[in-house]
Amino acid sequence: MHDERRRIEERVARLHTQRIKPATYASGVPMEVAAWQAPGEPVSFEEAAAAPYAPFAMDTLWGPPWGTTWFRMSGRVPAEWAGRRVEAVIDLGFAGDWPGNQAEALVHRTDGTPLKAVNPLNQYVPVAHPAVGGEEVEYLVEAASNPDVLANGFAGPTPLGDVRTAGDRRLYTFRRADLAVLDEQVWHLDLDLQVLRELMAELGEHEPRRHEIAHALDRAMDLLDLDDISASAPAVRDALRPVLAKPAHASAHLVSGVGHAHIDTAWLWPIRETKRKTSRTFSNVTALADEYEEFVFACSQAQQYEWVRDNHPHVWERIKKSVVKGQWAPVGGMWVEADGNLPGGEALARQLVHGKRFFMEHFGIETRGVWLPDSFGYTAAYPQLAKLAGNEWFLTQKISWNQTNAFPHHTFWWEGIDGTRIFTHFPPIDTYNARFSGEEMAGAVRNYAEKGGATRSLAPFGWGDGGGGPTREIMERARRLRNLEGSAKVEIEHPDAFFAKARAEYPDAPVWAGELYLELHRATYTTQARTKQGNRRSEHLLREAELWATTAALHAPGYSYPYERLDRLWKTVLLHQFHDILPGSSIAWVHREAEAEYARVAGELRDLTGEAIAALGSGGPRVFNTSPRDRAEVVRTPEGAPVYVQVPANGSAPLTPAAAPHPVTVSGRTLENGIVRVQVADDGTLSSVYDLRSDREVLAGQGNLLRLHTDLPNCWDAWDIDKHYRNRYTDLLEPGSVTVAEEHPLVGAIQVIRSFGKGSRITQTITVRAGSARIDVETDIDWHETEKILKAGFPVDLRAPHSSAEIQFGHVQRPTHTNTTWEAARFEVSGHRWVHIAEPGYGVAVINDSTYGHDITRTVRDDGGTTTTVRLSLVRAPRVPDPEADQGRHRFTYALLPGASIDDAVAEGYALNLPLRVADSAGEPEPVVSVEGEGVTVEAVKLADDGSEDVVVRLYESRGGRAHGVLRTGFPSTGAQVTDLLERPLGEVRADASGGVPLTLRPFQILTLRLRRA
């Protein structure tokens, strides 16, 4: 037989695209359209319904950036359409086929009931099936003219990312608003051809099945009447039926499909637009569920459900009905799909608590897995936190984006820092927006790493990022691919069902221990520094407010614990931990609002803490220590004078001087306190840091060296930092001034001021305090650079084989060498309050109060010694998607801690982030809890969420070893229970003879205790 593939494929392609697709809608009549441009922000349906509308013609421009235009559309179904499937077809002037970052709309009945959304891949609204003819149709359509912020493909900055700078030029040309007849036979023929052509293209040229499909298509096209596509479509479909009916091979890979609509809670649109996106997408999904009984839709992010409940109760009721029918699967159990690295430990716990509780309260469903496909790496604390929240599985996807190393597993046991393992999967289809194309299906089979051990994988299908979700076309593809020769098989099912089958099939799946590091998007540890600082400070202010509110509830008669206010503030902070807000990868509008929200949250939390302390009574200044360690340090009186005080962990003490330690001396540019001696060079760097206790020099070069690097990644400006940034830099060695800033027996400080670049200015105050080895660098930057990154480096005279970086409820170790591509790829890493490097017998920590990005490198000097350099990433200056990212004022502190153990790093990390508070108070209550025993660290103290007034304490082992201790209460207690994160009992703990609660913890174990009040 002659090879006629080219002729056949070209023939089929032309007939399919030029004749069959255009015939999908057999006939149509235009609707009458009128329009009203809403002023400013979106308005309610009631306001829009009462507004004055003006006639609107097709092919007319509409929609300024971020505007809302309401359209009134009306028409009559022609009598001759009786018995046919009639739809309204609306084209707002869609740009491309991505539903997310462009025009989209929600269609309402005239009574305000939302019907369905329209977007580029979902332009229809059902009218009648079958039609009787003569029906009147009238809609009110809320259309959003969201700009395509990335239309220029990252080529340069755009003002479209903020309503304040986007201008008012109209963006879209309205193309169509028709009543039309859907020719169902032609529509199904189109889908038959899509599936067969894509399958054929993926089969090898030597595969008989490829040739079989080609010739079947060729014969079928002979039956197509070009003058009457509609009439001939059934015959064409009949000719293709045998080739579509051939079953898959017995060993074919099984793809478990679940509907999905990845809706970024904010990204290239503000939160207010996400609130509308959720209602649009969820209205489409519930409509699709009515059409396809096998349909199952998985949806995470409790926050988005809450928005729909509050803003569109009709859609909310449809969701609840779909849940009952088993077609809607709440998943994930988190308040939002948070960033996987940056939230603090307690915040990640609360993400799971608030998310799971929402689904249990509103649907009676306890979610069983963590659904987090799109975060930029995943902390090694997740397995333990997930299991403690009652989860059995974990789903991710983003690791498939690795720049350097292909992750070796798709189904595996993920082992966390404490040894907890959770069954984990990331789909080999390599997307969380699958549509069951031939390329995707073949790719899933090729990629699947578990061949020979397992046979199934998951595929979240539906358009996403900006929502959209599954479409009827994707559902039809799934039906055709359920059992089709040459393809993997598709079975639509609940994620819980997939994970149960996958685990049963593959119980001995391989183990991956430690973090899931994404070899991409490493700049998300640094970009939008003020957003990150707002998060860090909010987390610590929440800890402070809960501790002192608990103290007041126990000891101040008449004080009422602020459950509702704390709940609301926690949810605000959790919302802004979404994986495109906290990482700094959103448009300017998002980060402008985030900074304002953090300021509001901080103010309210300070008020809450102040109210709790005031409830204890007034009588003089007192010092309050929210950290989990006893502290002896310098604090300022209300008048600003330094005082050395001692304050117990989680407790308070009078503002009276303690025994004075060795005084601080300032001599020229040298600061000394009997523990460390710090010398500041003429260029403002640290020329020496001498540890007087260990009699050794700490530095092996210029300390606190500020280095300004050119920083233009290959793509994804806000997200990425590529290794070539290291090749071009300027060391900032020309200070404007180096002066003594403070000289006091308890405090010595030297101030260094530098101006550089495009008008940027940095003021740093290097401070040594009595009794402390910690050397603080208080930093104030007025930043005006573009496409730069500023780093601060500390070259330390240590041969450290690895670095340790704090993560949630513990720390991870990373090699300082680059023996393999896995280590080399970690050229920028995340850490929380501290990083630590050590050789046997000596260690150094670098502490911070709002910085996450670091790099740690190792070199050998000419004298044979080793220099291990820790550098903090302070600020960046990307221009996409926010052209003003990081511009302006930043204030933060980082510190060098010589002679530090891990335990010292933990203690000083808390101390820097939880400064002592001085307030007027007469109360002298005992700390709510105190802990005897090294390595046991209290992370949270609060009242139980159920209103019982039990006290809940969350603690963990923080050194990475076994810990034994005793927890004592500052209030009468009748017993203690171990609970999960949701405060559900797991077992009783018996008190010891002295009434204390004995503690035995494995390395990095998290323990939640519920203490019953007498």
Find tokens 């803003």 and name the residue: 311
> Given this model, what pLDDT does residue 1 score?
66
> Given this model, what pLDDT does residue 773 score?
98
Which positions ≥6 away from 815 have C-beta within 8 Å?
A: 801, 802, 823
Question: Pick from 516, 465, 503: which is nearest to 368 by CA?
Answer: 503
User: Does the pLDDT of residue 1014 top 90, yes or no?
Assistant: no
* Average pLDDT score over residue span 918-935: 92
* Average pLDDT score over residue span 8-14: 96
The pLDDT tens digits for 374-408 are 999 999 999 999 999 999 999 999 999 999 999 99
> Given this model, what pLDDT does residue 2 score?
75
The pLDDT tens digits for 807-822 are 999 999 999 999 999 9
As a whole number of angstroms, the distance between CA 189 and CA 191 comes to: 5
Pairing of strands 393-395, 421-425: parallel
What b/e string do you get for 718-757 counting C-beta neighbours within 10 Å, with b at 16 or more?
A: bbbbbeebeeebeebbebeebeebbeeebbbbbbbbbebb
Read off the tokens for 423. Answer: 């069954």
CA 85 from centre of chain: 42
Beta strands in 63-135 (DSSP E): 67-76, 86-91, 103-108, 114-118, 124-128
User: Does the pLDDT of residue 3 top 90, yes or no?
Assistant: no
- pTM for the full predicted model: 0.97
> Given this model, what pLDDT does residue 595 score?
98
Find the distance separating the first CA and the last CA of the chain, reported in whole Å: 91
* Average pLDDT score over residue span 872-898: 98
As a whole number of angstroms, the distance between CA 977 and CA 952 comes to: 9
User: Does the pLDDT of residue 791 top 90, yes or no?
Assistant: yes
As a whole number of angstroms, the distance between CA 933 and CA 21 comes to: 73
CA gyration radius for the chain?
A: 31
Q: What is the DSSP string of 21-65?
A: GGGSEEEEEEPEEEEEEEPSS---HHHHHTS--EE--TTEEE--T
> Given this model, what pLDDT does residue 152 score?
78
Torsion angles phi and psi, residue 105, rounded to 5: -150, 155
Helices (H) and strands (E) in the chain, counts: 18, 55
Other CB atoms within a 10 A radius of the CB of residue 421 amount to 17
The pLDDT tens digits for 265-302 are 999 999 999 999 999 999 999 999 999 999 999 999 99
The mean of the pLDDT values for the chain is 97
Q: Residue 37: which pLDDT band, with cuts at 50, 70 and 90?
A: very high
Pairing of strands 621-624, 631-636: unpaired
Which positions ≥6 away from 397 have C-beta within 8 Å?
A: 373, 374, 426, 427, 430, 431, 432, 460
Residues present in the chain in total: 1014
Which positions ≥6 away from 624 have C-beta within 8 Å?
A: 548, 613, 647, 651, 652, 916, 917, 918, 919, 921
* Average pLDDT score over residue span 505-522: 98
The pLDDT tens digits for 469-482 are 999 999 999 999 99
User: Does the pLDDT of residue 992 top 90, yes or no?
Assistant: no
The pLDDT tens digits for 849-859 are 999 999 999 99
Pairing of strands 254-259, 456-461: parallel
Contact 492, 294 (CB under 8 A): yes
DSSP 600: H
Percent residues over pLDDT 70 in the chain? 100
Find tokens 């609002």 and name the residue: 593
Just list the catalytic residues. Answer: 374
Question: In the beta sheet, which residues pair with residue 803?
Answer: 814, 837
CA 209 from centre of chain: 44
Which positions ≥6 away from 28 have C-beta within 8 Å?
A: 89, 178, 179, 180, 181
Torsion angles phi and psi, residue 188, rounded to 5: -65, -35
The pLDDT tens digits for 583-617 are 999 999 999 999 999 999 999 999 999 999 999 99
* Average pLDDT score over residue span 76-98: 95
* Average pLDDT score over residue span 328-338: 97
User: Does the pLDDT of residue 320 top 90, yes or no?
Assistant: yes
